[in-house]
Structure 1
Amino acid sequence: MSTPAIRKASTALAAVITLALTATACGGTTKKSVAQEDGGAKASHAHADPNAATKKGLTVAFLPKQVNNPYFTVADKGGEQALRQLGSSFKEVGPSSATDTSGQVSYVNTLTQQQVDAIAVSAQDPGALCTALKQAMKNGIKVVTYDSDTNAGCRDVFVSQASAEALGRSQVQLLGQQLGYKGEIAILSAAQTATNQNTWIEFMKDELKKPKYKDMKLVATAYGNDDAQQSFQQTQGLLQEHPKLAGIISPTTVGIKAAAQYLSGSKYKGKVALTGLGTPNDMRRYVKNGTVAAFELWDPAKLGALAAHAAVALSSGQITGQRGETFKAGDLGSFTIGDQGVVDLGEPTVFDKDNIDQYKF
């Protein structure tokens, strides 16, 4: 498949985001019951009013996996800008390590004590935050997950960057095209518990079962914990342990940049293919110097903005997180809630030397 064709295909397979129940602690709207943690249908006695006025003066807290991660900086700035336009307040808190799950729990507990109106969180682990988030929901706080989900019963809505299946399969397709569908490959992921990473990897493995990949073999999965130095070292280790390695997929912006940095200064530049999920600003130099042919991503600022709009829509009673409900998200357009409270952001884009200078994030 050609790169333009893959770009079109990956763009067409978008994300599903979930938006859920609608009551806020200070607003006095009807509180929903806590959903089942097994991901089944949410039990709610609240009713959405799509014509309800958008509340102003809300406080929405963003809790990313890692506050010093450039990807989340861009995403959360998008959320901040959207909230400002909606007449509400933004705050950001979070751990400096992408594997500090107990730190995320502590921040949720603090935000609950502070009685914020909504929390937008990118979960480091699907279950570890559940007790704290359910307590927040019992206190009338709306919970939106973005980028990385919790168990479905532990939040109101999941704002998905793109469908997990689309992202998993398209990264394999990109690498397959670059390798001529032959050779040993490896995956350089983030943390072993990262919900989004693990889901994408499962779809990658399923894609590799197709006949056209019969000459491609996944030989290793490494974890850099979204730490630049660890990811750099893991890349080096993969190449030392697998001297026949032909390509690497890194579905994490920190990982792909670190892998590209290593490859760019090594004898493997131009010999070992690299693709995955990265930002144009991080990857531009490596595309231009021939280290990376193509990679993909969505616009993280739009992801953060959609999470903010979902939080406000929930707090305003315009949605409750049930399938089929719709809400407006400013310039992003209108969105419909899908299964298990997931809402589609849009379409991932493939970046290469022909289009990367058109993007500045």
Structure 2
Amino acid sequence: MKTAFAFAAMLAAAPVLSSGVACAAESGPPLHFVLIPKTVHPWFDKAMTGAKAAGDMITKATGRPVEIEYRAPQTADVSSQNDIIERAVATHPDGLILDLLDEKGNRAAMDEAADQKIPMTVFDSLPPEGMDITAVGADFCEQGTMAAERLANLVGKKGEVAIMMGVPTAPNHTLRAECEKKVFAKYPDMKVVATGIDNDSIETAQKQASAIMQAHPDLVGWVACDASGPVGIGQAIREGGKTGKVKEVGLDNLNDMIQLIKDGVAESSASSRPEMQGYWAVISAWQKAMGQKTPKYIDTGIDLLTSKTL
């Protein structure tokens, strides 16, 4: 965050940027950004913490108030998310900050925003093909690969494993799953015997993981593609008395995930830094609102969480 503050403060302190837009001592009404995640979820609470920190920094650096409105679908439903996007567009905000459930399914709502000349930034996701939108997030393939390779080493590169898919239409979840499968395909003695779909619900993940482990008693390990999946998987491992017998490498840094690592239920987790994603998504949205060009992609990196690092 110190690096982020220094960068943004530098931009704000400069008298004029290349396009002639003044940054210091901005005047005018509050900047209004709408942040729309995939669903109500603790991961997005962490992203919103970072987003608020960025808004506070911009206000301190420029003197202009920043309002970040949080509008989350109650469930991971594309039509509900599109309805929220469309209603946000009708308020003519200074920018939309989106985590897409379905890049194709969200396209029409995003085209409407583009027609209204409302800048957009996506985070924890990838933009629809052909749309010039900054994406903020980790390298999702690298994250999935890291988790799968770690699990492969834990189980001696042999045995039956399973993948919890998350939301199948979400571009980041899909990419992680594809890259996890590629890792397991490298090892002749490993086999993916099941894939669950939790739709970003911990409860659903727990039920699916329990059913899969009952159907596959020789299962040796799990990876996931979203933040809910590994928490539900860990609960199922614990409740099924399989701690230490079925290995798990999770994703992200939810408090429940961290506790599963501390308790020895999960071995580790590859975290995509949600607070940093929220922070830099707002910085990008602010720059777009000021008429500046922004990068195609901002990589916020990955943390490997283990019992030794927590």
Shorter-chain TM-score tier: 0.7 to 0.9
CA distance in 1, matches of 2:80, 2:37: 11
Cα 1:102–1:155 shift into 2, 3 Å: farther
1:187 aligns with 2:187: no
CA distance in 2, matches of 1:165, 1:278: 14
CA contact (8 A) 1:63 1:94 kept: yes
Aligned counterpart, 2:204: 230
Aligned counterpart, 1:203: 179
Query: What RMSD in Å do the two structures reach over aligned CA positions?
Result: 1.7
CA distance in 2, matches of 1:71, 1:50: 36
CA contact (8 A) 2:127 2:133 kept: no
The CA deviation at 1:90 is 0.8
CA contact (8 A) 1:75 1:300 kept: yes
Q: For 1:98-247, what aligned pairs fall within 5 Å after superposition?
A: 98=76, 100-154=77-131, 156-160=133-137, 162-210=138-186, 213-247=187-221
1:77 aligns with 2:24: no
Instruction: Please give the per-residue CA displacement for 1:229-274, whole angstroms capped at 9, x wherever unaligned.
Output: 2111100111011111100101221111111112112221110001
Instruction: Please give the per-residue CA displacement for 1:208-245, whole angstroms capped at 9, x wherever unaligned.
Output: 233xx221111111101111221111001110111111
Aligned counterpart, 1:289: 263
Aligned length: 284
Higher relative contact order (CA 8 A, sep 6+): 1
Aligned counterpart, 1:3: none
- TM, length-normalised to structure 2: 0.87
1:301 aligns with 2:275: yes
CA contact (8 A) 2:158 2:190 kept: yes
Q: For 1:260-339, what aligned pairs fall within 5 Å after superposition?
A: 260-279=234-253, 281-319=255-293, 321=294, 337=295
CA distance in 1, matches of 2:85, 2:263: 43
For structure 2, which runs of at least 5 residues remain unmatched after alignment?
Answer: 1-16, 60-65
CA distance in 2, matches of 1:209, 1:49: 49
Aligned counterpart, 1:7: none
> Which residue identity lines up with residue 94 of structure 2 in the other structure?
D
CA distance in 1, matches of 2:120, 2:221: 38
Aligned counterpart, 1:34: none
For structure 1, which runs of at least 5 residues remain unmatched after alignment?
Answer: 1-47, 322-336, 357-361
Cα 1:51–1:262 shift into 2, 3 Å: farther
Instruction: Please give the per-residue CA displacement for 1:98-127, whole angstroms capped at 9, x wherever unaligned.
Output: 2x1111111111111100010001011111
